[in-house]
Structure formats: C-alpha cells, structure tokens
Amino acid sequence: MYLPKIHEETRVEILHQLIHSHPLGTWVVLGEGELVANPIPFFIDSSRGEFGTLMAHVSRANPVWDLPVSSVPSLVSFQGAQTYITPSWYPSKQEHGKAVPTWNYVVVQAQGVPRFIEDREWLLAHVELLTQQHECKQEVQWKVKDVPDDYIERLLGAIVGVEIPIQQLTGKWKISQNRPEVDKKGIINGLENNGDEHSLAVANWVRGTLGQ
C-alpha cells in the first residue's frame, strides 16, 4: 500500500479499534497462479502476539482453506470511514483557485500466514465469541444455545476455523492532514452538513488533526 508518512497511523490500539468496528475484511490469499479474495468477518484478539491475532471461519465448501501451503503471508484489508471531499469546501479555493477534489478514508491492512482449524471445541468457542460481539447491541440477543444441538453440530461440521497471527499491521489515515487549518474547518463543516454516517465519521477524524 502506498503510504506517505503524513498518512501513517502506527498506534496498535487505534488499528485494532478500527478492525473491531469494521470487522468485515477483504482477505487476499495467493492461490495457484492467481490471487484469491474473500470478504470475511474477523475477530481481533489483541492479547495474542505483538500485533494481535485475527480469527474467523469459512465454509468448508470454500476452497480457500484447502489451497497449497504458501510461505507468502496473506493480507486482510479493513475499510473504515471514507468519503469524497470537494474543493468547494476550502476557503483557500476562493483566494487562489489552486484546489482539486480528493477522497478521505481510513484503512487497516494486516498480513500473516493463516492456519486452519477443524477442532470442534475451537469452532464452538469461536462462533459463541462472534455471536457475543455482534449481538450485544441487539434488544433481543440471539445465542448459540437457542439453536437445537443437532443443528449446531451439523453447522460446525460445515465450517473451518482460521487464525492469522499478524506479522505486519499497517494503518493509513488519509484525512486532509496536508490542508491548512482554515480548509480543515471547511471540510468539517461540509461533511457535517452532509450528515451521513461516513461523512460524520470522517469529520471527526479531520477534527482530530486540529487537536479538537
């Protein structure tokens, strides 16, 4: 990933926070003469390894888990808030006109060699963990134990677990760091007027570059 120093985010806790809030990663693996990409929801275990460990599962019917073993690390890309930035929001544009559109975004990329797990106890603990993570905000929370035992056993037999100890963790925060303060304030105002979820999130990131 092209990563100018001004856009680099290295704080592991911030990178893990983005993975936790945007868990659907694009997982790219080197296959036989091609790249194989799958959208997979991941859980980040911050307690294991220098950069954490990613955990997920895939359908047993998905050939990704049965590819030839490769020493080349796979890559998982997690996309956070992103939005278009119009130069019309820059007060400096009114002065000299030297401004063009851009795109602001935050993204995390994790690299590591995956290992695949077929152990029934690991799989059960994993799906219970994922359920707790994503059901906690629901008014009526679904639990794995709500499902008949024989049905759960059949489903566990249809999936394969994945663990990716992270060897390299990279964050890119492209949030108008290069603009003067007056333009950043214009961007924040424009994004807040847009009012959608991504715009408001990016506005907060830009506000952070002002120390607000």
* pLDDT for residue 109: 98
* pLDDT for residue 196: 95
- Is domain 5-182 annotated with CATH 2.30.110.10? yes
* pLDDT for residue 211: 77
Residues 6+ apart with CB under 8 A from 133: 23, 43
The residue whose two tokens read 């394969």 is 160
Count CB neighbours of 106 within 10 A.
23
Q: Maximum CA pair distance of the chain?
A: 70
* pLDDT for residue 72: 86
The dihedral through the CA atoms of 41, 38, 114, 155 has a sign that is positive
Q: What is the pLDDT along the chain (212 residues), one digit of tens a residue?
A: 999 999 999 999 999 999 999 999 999 999 888 999 999 999 999 999 999 999 999 999 999 998 887 888 999 999 999 999 999 999 886 767 677 899 999 999 999 999 999 999 999 999 999 999 999 888 888 888 888 989 999 999 999 999 999 999 999 999 999 999 999 999 999 999 999 999 999 999 999 999 75
* pLDDT for residue 97: 65
Closest CA relative to residue 81, chosen from 209, 186, 174:
174
Predicted TM-score (pTM) of this structure? 0.91
Checking DSSP bridges between strand 53-59 and strand 74-85, what pairing results, if any?
A: unpaired
Q: What is the DSSP string of the chain?
A: ----GGGEE--HHHHHHHHHHS-EEEEEEE-SSSEEEEEEE-EEETTSSSS-EEEEEEETT-GGGGSPP-SSPEEEEEEEEEEEE-GGG-HHHHHH-----EEEEEEEEEEE--EEE--HHHHHHHHHHHHHHHHTT-SS---GGGS-HHHHHHHHTTEEEEEEE-SEEEEEEESSTTS-HHHHHHHHHHHHHH-SHHHHHHHHHHHHTTT-
